[in-house]
Amino acid sequence: MNEPATIDERALAPARAPTLRMQGIRKSFFGVEVLHGVDFSVDRGEVMGLCGENGAGKSTLMKILAGIHEQDAGTVEVKGTRVPAGANPREMQALGVSMIHQELNLLDELTVAQNIFLCREPRGRSGLIDFRRMNEAAAAQLEKLGEKIDPRRKVRELKIAQKQMVEIAKATSFDVGLLILDEPTAVLTGKETRILFDLIASLSARGISMVYISHRLKEIGDVCHRVTVLRDGHLVATRKVSEVTPHEIATLMVGREVKDTRAADFSGDPAAVVLEARGVSDGLLKDVSFQVRKGEILGFAGLVGAGRTEVMEILFGIRKPRTGTVLVDGAQVTVRNAMDAIRAGLGFVTEDRKDTGLVLCRDISENANYVRWQKTGGFFKGKRRTANASRRMIERLRIRCQGANQLVSSLSGGNQQKVALAKWLMAGAKVLILDEPTRGVDVGARQEIYDIIRELAAEGVGVVVVSSDLPEVLSVCQRVLVMHEGRITGELAASEMTEAKIMYCATDVRAGGEHGDA
Amino acid sequence: METLEVGAESRPWNDLARRVWREYSILVVFATIIAVCGIVAPRFLGFGNISAVLLNASIVGIIALGMTFVVIGGGIDLSSGPVLATAAAALVQLQRMTHPDGSAVVPLPVAILACVAVAVAFGFVNGMLITKALLPPFIVTLAVGIIARSLVMYFCRGATIMGNDFPQFLGNETLFRLPIPFVILVVLAVAFHVLLTRSKFGSYVFAVGGNENAARYSGIKVDRIRVVTYMLVGLCTAIAAIIEVSRMQAVAAATQGYLYEFEAITAVVVGGTSLSGGRGRIIGTVVGCIILGIVSNMMIMLNISPYLAGAVKGAVILFAVLLQRRER
């Protein structure tokens, strides 16, 4: 990986006004202050990390900067000039501030070039859009980023990393001075992430400042010069990354010491196999076989696209395997749909809770009971039993809410994830599959979810954790299987696990292929 | 979103007020409309008039109850009007067949069952085409509606067919001084409210409309739930058809049930059910169809040209939807 421009370079020109200076920013929603006078500044060419738990005020601060919200008090200066209060996103863009949202804001049915030049298409003499000129300009913009995407392709056909490049090309096609990147690596594979980091370094060298928001603290250390931590709407600290460890950042975010634990080896009965897959294959997967024991926490590591989610979808009847059998408690089961899997005793907390996990417009109680209701007979829900069961689950999982009738959409990411978990705990699953269980979950709730996973295993549930977050695998899983391009390429017990060993199995280093990652 | 949560926590009264408004805004609007109408046209509040309004709102109201389930489940049914005509025609055709001695060939209960079967079968076909052939509900029900209208025209040769002394009490008499169709609407509304809010099926309908994928991953039989909602609106349509036959003693092939589907959908939307699915209430639908009935009634009271009825109804829809949008 390229080293980003070093801090010393910028130290040579300390007299210059910083690209961004926000001072005393206050913001209230519905009479409650969520930012209590935050100062935030970014120097020219600097990559500033921005960390904080969900609800700490990161996104509110950035939305003020991007012109989406207006601050109640405080000033924003871009390149030394004061931004008038109430500037809209378009005006902020004209001032050189662009934001790349986590959920990319591209129009799928338009071409790459049309997206880049949306609403400012070059026009010919007739007043119609000059497509040739537009495509050339778009290609030039992409070229500058070292990206070769045909500007005439529809965005729908692009891979997610390419879409992100298009977003960046769009942002840099304005005379951009400050780029806000909101969790840009959440959807990228390892290789794509490295490309993005190189790009960030080169943009930084061109003098473009960036704000880099991420929950992945290690990345902050890799790509940023300084890091600012927010907690409960206050600025807690701004540090040079060279002087702070990811662990210290986490501690600053939570405001208390975060334990870095390592999982121990599985100590239960190795013969008590609760779930077994034998020779599962399809277009992508090649002869995937494994066993999960009662009370064991088994990890599935690997790069995005290695086939881990696909394995889980086959187990759960969402996807059809070409060959292979699944055994639960030693008996072969036929799984044609989710209900068959549920009947066999499986539970599946999916990767994307907004898409496949939760019905956001319904309350906690409903969401937590969907599976239980199907397992118990009867036409009616049973108001009291449902309410009691929900209340117990809310207490057990420490779901922070106003009550079981609160809509799931108004919960924070961590609490939403707990509701997704509650659904399966209520149904009494024998095997629980968790796909990226802490994606978009803040540090505090993350620990609670790990504790719940450990409790479940202690109660005898077989737990499968699919995770791309290696520290997570290391701290939770008693054994890990590593996948690469549809195959299981490695198996490690907790005592022999290291990030390096997992990455070794997850990449082509070992497989000997020439493709990095899918 | 995160801030909303904080705001709600620290301001219980504000939150309560907002919740009351969200839950009962339709009733506030309803009361206001009645008050305004009473002031503008005092005759409006007369018992006879109110009773007429309720009677006129009942048939579409009953269809709208089933429609509420379909819409909450993320669908729509544009075939209800023609299906009502077809089911009514089946009922009358069977009922009026007599032996030479004047006795019925088909006993009345059997004719009624056939009427229900026809409407529910159309619902089943709608549901199967939508879930198994994966076609959009809008197109499927539009096409099925056109087919149903054509079939009824064919079987009645485009004419109006008369019943043979069909029992009149269902459509034309009163119970506790209330028109029987309205009593039926209220009874059905209570039953459907319980079904929607207390039964597992009701919750699954919300889940399917709110997030189909999540419902499927939770093991809910999404297709089956969908099909049942269409059959439910079929059942409601059959009940409406029986009442209509009882009232009119005849079925006009070309015009019976004309635009009922749109009136039912309008009542559902005015009643606060979201057309994108996952949100809605039965009580809202009942109030919604009474509001529409009041609008028609006031047009007559105030001597406004019937040609302007559409303009006023359209404005009411826009106003109702606007009101609901602001709350979010």
Q: Note whether A380 contacts B6, CB cutoff 8 Å.
A: no
A412 chain-B contacts, CB cut-off 8 A: 2, 5
CATH 1.10.1040 fits B25-327, yes or no: no
pLDDT at A375: 84
Assess if residue A352 is contained within a domain: no
- Same domain, yes or no, for A10 and A78? yes
Residue that wins the pLDDT comparison between A300 and A190:
A300
- Same domain, yes or no, for A3 and A81? yes
- Same domain, yes or no, for A268 and A329? yes
pLDDT at A508: 56
- Same domain, yes or no, for A90 and A188? yes
pLDDT digit string, tens, across residues A65-104:
888 888 888 989 888 888 888 788 888 888 888 888 877 7
Classify residue A293 as exposed, middle or buried by CB count within 10 Å of its CB (0-12, 13-18, 19+).
buried
In the predicted model, what is the mean pLDDT of residues B193-220? 92
- Same domain, yes or no, for A91 and A119? no
Chain A's closest residue to B14, CA to CA, is: A30
Name the band, by pLDDT with cuts 50, 70 and 90, for residue A469.
confident
Q: For residue A193, count other CB atoms closer than 10 A to its CB.
A: 22
- Same domain, yes or no, for A3 and A92? yes
Assess if residue A208 is contained within a domain: yes
Q: Note whether B7 contacts A318, CB cutoff 8 Å.
A: no
Name the band, by pLDDT with cuts 50, 70 and 90, for residue B324.
low
Tell me which residue in B2, B217, B221 faces A348 most closely, judged by beta carbons: B217
Interface test with A, best of B16, B199, B218, B221 (most A CBs within 10 A): B218
Q: Where are the domains of chain B?
A: 25-327
B220 chain-A contacts, CB cut-off 8 A: 370, 374
Per the structure, the count of domains in chain A is 4
- Which residue range is the domain that position A409 belongs to? 364-426
Assess if residue A350 is contained within a domain: no
pLDDT at B210: 92
Tell me which residue in A55, A356, A411 faces B217 most closely, judged by beta carbons: A356
Give the whole-number percent of chain B exceeding pLDDT 70: 92
- Same domain, yes or no, for A153 and A199? no
pLDDT digit string, tens, across residues A221-252:
889 999 999 888 889 889 898 888 877 887 78
pLDDT at A34: 82
pLDDT digit string, tens, across residues A325-361:
999 998 898 888 888 899 888 999 988 888 888 998 8
Tell me which residue in B8, B206, B210 faces A402 most closely, judged by beta carbons: B8
Name the band, by pLDDT with cuts 50, 70 and 90, for residue A509.
low
- pLDDT tops 50 at residue B8: no
Report the C-alpha gap between B262 and A501 in whole angstroms. 64
Q: Note whether A355 contacts B213, CB cutoff 8 Å.
A: yes
Chains A and B form CB pairs within 8 A to the count of: 112
> Would you give the distance in Å from CA B79 to the centre of its chain?
12
**Residue B202 CA: distances (Å) to CA of A383, B65, B234, B278:** 13, 13, 17, 11
A409 chain-B contacts, CB cut-off 8 A: 1
What is the DSSP secondary structure assignment for residue A494, as one 8-state letter?
G
Assess if residue A76 is contained within a domain: yes
Name the band, by pLDDT with cuts 50, 70 and 90, for residue B22.
low
In the predicted model, what is the mean pLDDT of residues A446-466? 90
Report the C-alpha gap between B68 and B84 in whole angstroms. 17
pLDDT at A260: 64
- Same domain, yes or no, for A327 and A302? yes
Q: Is A34 an interface residue toward B (CB < 8 Å)?
A: yes
Assess if residue A353 is contained within a domain: no
- Same domain, yes or no, for A185 and A85? yes
Chain A's closest residue to B218, CA to CA, is: A371
User: Could you give the ipTM of this predicted complex?
Assistant: 0.80
> How does the average pLDDT of chain A come out, rounded?
84
- Same domain, yes or no, for A79 and A182? yes
Residue A233 sits in a domain of what CATH number? 3.40.50.300
pLDDT at A1: 42
B210 chain-A contacts, CB cut-off 8 A: 359-362
- pLDDT tops 50 at residue A40: yes
Most confident of A325-339, B96-110, B309-323: A325-339
Most confident of A198-202, A350-354, B133-137, B236-240: B236-240
Contact map slice: A 424-463 vs B, CB within 8 A: none
Report the C-alpha gap between A352 and A268 in whole angstroms. 31
What is the DSSP secondary structure assignment for residue A354, as one 8-state letter?
I
Residues 6+ apart with CB under 8 A from A45: A5, A9, A10, A204, A205, A206, A207, A208, A209
Decide which of A144, A174, A204 is a domain's last residue.
A174
- Same domain, yes or no, for A213 and A157? no
Interface test with B, best of A54, A358, A359 (most B CBs within 10 A): A359
- Same domain, yes or no, for A163 and A265? no
Contact map slice: A 253-292 vs B, CB within 8 A: none
Residue that wins the pLDDT comparison between A246 and A135:
A135
- pLDDT tops 70 at residue A513: no
With beta carbons less than 8 A apart as the criterion, state whether A444 and A450 touch. no
Q: Is the pTM of this model over 0.90?
A: no
Assess if residue A73 is contained within a domain: yes
Contact map slice: B 131-160 vs A, CB within 8 A: none
In the predicted model, what is the mean pLDDT of residues B163-174? 79
Decide which of A131, A146, A174 is a domain's last residue.
A174
Q: Note whether A30 contacts B3, CB cutoff 8 Å.
A: yes
pLDDT at B301: 84
Residues 6+ apart with CB under 8 A from B105: B94, B97, B98, B99
